[in-house]
Structure 1
């Protein structure tokens, strides 16, 4: 089953100003509390249902939220994925991305690392035979190396590489274009199926789904069994431009097809974490146990 989804996050924000009273002293580590949850079933198979989650938050310096239009928020450490270089001994060196020019998509960010860009051809090399085969575009593929389990994804895409880092490719990679500008290194646009791994710090809210089993315990639901995308991890926008205490409520709307047939009368819980731009992780909160029918509200 492939579950299409659309996510939307809104915030009701209170900025704590210092005027005639002393503002509360909140920790710079975000604090969250569960507020409410609702399931809106539209009753139409052609439309998406909504699971809506409300989370209260407090933060001492207001550095919550990420903007897709801010180059700093799509560069390391908030880049979307890591790429990899072959280290020559069977290992993989993670490589992030950064925005180097405002009119060019993020580029690979190397700081002296050596090796070839890991691609779908890498697993054909003897030292890399442990790598898994193709499972589908951007689908997680599991492997074990030196007793340590891990996952990677294969993704066919365009990669922007500075001429200064041209040693990571050779004539087996397809260069579809070269961007040139006076006084700047050339930029190679490579189109290939490469190894990537989503960067968990690209998002700033994580929502795990837990399903109650026959043993009465709650178990983490593996969304990779029904979708190749980590469905319900996302970003909420910048909430405050200045450094000061804030509190408020996040409304996180998860619109999907297929929740009713997938979970039916099963008992669920959601587990939520957020983090700020300094990468301080909040406390972890869980919703009370619920079924979709328990929290159903009018569509």
Structure 2
């Protein structure tokens, strides 16, 4: 689910992180974030939409590394039938969705056994720790532009790395710049008025407050 169908292709999720250790003692246990900036950067290698947020957290349990894939941070949950067996596409029930790269996964390991088939799955939201939603303003009203729906079947949710190298508990504050690369921003959004909403989540699965960008167009935030 890391590639988008048709004319949009996600190349990379990137997070550039800066943290200041030992801030004031009254920091929240649930992460607290503030919107800082949103830029649209054009490049021959792909255009990037970069959102920058600041954060505060009392325990410092922010971030997930590549090795953080065991529950509750696993990427997929497997849908099973009444007997507890995974459901393959050829044996799918009538209520199963048609094939798409969100609801179905190919050649997965289930209980350390490789299943060479297409399996019905559910995406685990806790695999990610930064969550981004897009909204387009039409007739004065914002409606969500859902990347998960056809024809894209993808998401711009992702991960930023651990703020602290060890599992120590320390209050932290800092900023995250999260870059979303694509070759399709302008062809999709053109002159639309946009807004993005952002949340983050710590390793205790505490979801932060939701923040929103100002209303804007790509032309207003373009940086060459």
Distance 1:155 1:29 in 2: 33
Determine whether 1:122 maps to 2:86: no
- Which of residues 7, 18, 24 in structure 2 aligns to 1:12? 18
Aligned twin of 1:154: 104
> 1:160-171, aligned counterparts within 5 Å?
160-161=110-111
**Is the CA contact 1:160–1:189 (under 8 Å) kept in the aligned structure 2?**
yes
> 1:159-238, aligned counterparts within 5 Å?
159-161=109-111, 188-214=113-139, 216-223=140-147, 224-230=149-155, 232-238=156-162
The 3 A distance-change label for structure 1 pair 56 and 236 is same
The 3 A distance-change label for structure 1 pair 189 and 261 is closer
Aligned twin of 1:54: 52
> Could you say what the CA RMSD is over the residues aligned between the two structures, in angstroms?
1.5
Distance 2:58 2:179 in 1: 26
> 5+ residue gaps in structure 1?
18-22, 88-113, 141-152, 163-187
Distance 2:117 2:186 in 1: 38
- Structure 1 segments (4+ residues) deviating >6 Å: none
**Is the CA contact 2:33–2:209 (under 8 Å) kept in the aligned structure 1?**
yes
Using the size of structure 2 for normalisation, the TM-score is 0.91
**Is the CA contact 1:78–1:202 (under 8 Å) kept in the aligned structure 2?**
yes
Using the size of structure 1 for normalisation, the TM-score is 0.69
Q: Secondary structure at the match of 1:225?
A: coil
**Is the CA contact 1:30–1:282 (under 8 Å) kept in the aligned structure 2?**
yes
**Is the CA contact 1:156–1:192 (under 8 Å) kept in the aligned structure 2?**
yes
- The number of residues matched between the two structures is 215
Q: Secondary structure at the match of 1:86?
A: coil
